[in-house]
Structure 1
Amino acid sequence: MAEVGERTLHAVRRQRFLEVLAATANVTRSAVEAGVEARACYRLRQRDAGFAAAWEAALDEGYVRLEASLLATAMGTGEEEAIDRKLALEVLARRAAGRGRASMTRQVPIEEVESTLIRKLDALDRKARSA
């Protein structure tokens, strides 16, 4: 499907973009699957507060799914799909740092969170392999 610009980013294409964004947290892939240009989506987000809010909600859902998938994989209850743990942790750490966490009582450096999670995931991997 040919990519279309902002003027043709009508409701159906917007909805598809947001659905894929919620599933993948990937703007480029979402735009491709909706048949629109990613830059048209970015421009619309700047102009349309409702679309911007829906975009953020979709991204939040995408990150929750990523986090759940990563945790399931770490605990050995995942669907064994390929997941780049280091990349997933980096993405989640950046997201947490960028948005802040209301429930956090102290600021924890991203590096500390990342290294702790990597150590725990490695320990779970070793445990699963030895079982």
Structure 2
Amino acid sequence: MPDEKPVRSCSGTANPGRHWRKRFLETLAATSDIERAASAARVTVARAQQVRRTDTGFARDWQAAIADGYLNLEIEVIRRLREGDLMTANGDKFDFANAIRLLAARRDRAASAQHSQIRDVSAAEVRASIDRKIEDIRRRVARQKAARGEET
């Protein structure tokens, strides 16, 4: 990106290499804040997003970090409810209603995604799977008949 300035890594080089990824993911899991994670890792948000689009392993780890962030929020809500801790560190009232709505929406999206993964099988794939199972059964029956000395 032309307006992107190179960010210096801890070692002082303009290219942070692959070492920034761990720091980025740790910060993302802890804060659920992409800008903060990029800043902590000393990369631009655009760089992190570009790597996420091109590196499936990093994309998977990114999603795991986001999931950790939701888990952290859930734990925080539960802790606050148990302890009666209604205020944030800066004196504002903790927004339980929005936190719970966000967690419910996340749960619904996760359930929907899981459901769509189960249903995302083409008819051809189902037929091929059935054909393989039938062929396996035929072979097993033929072996059993051969073992008993029967004709196939």
TM-score, with length taken from structure 1: 0.62
Distance in 1, Cα, partners of 2:36 & 2:104 = 21
1:85 deviates by 2.4
Q: Which residue of 2 aligns with 1:93?
A: 104
How far does the alpha carbon of each residue in 1:37-77 deviate from its partner, in whole angstroms, 9 at most, with x for none? 11211111010001001101111111101110011101117
1:91 deviates by 2.9
**TM-aligned CA distance change 1:91 to 1:38, over 3 Å:** farther
Q: Which residue of 2 aligns with 1:20?
A: 27
Q: Which amino acid aligns with 1:57?
A: A
List alignment gaps of at least 5 residues for structure 2: 9-13, 115-152
Count of aligned positions: 100
1:80 deviates by 6.1
TM-score, with length taken from structure 2: 0.55
List alignment gaps of at least 5 residues for structure 1: 103-131
Q: What RMSD, in angstroms, separates the aligned Cα atoms of the two structures?
A: 2.9
Q: Which amino acid aligns with 2:104?
A: A
Higher relative contact order (CA 8 A, sep 6+): 1
1:11 is the counterpart of 2:14: no
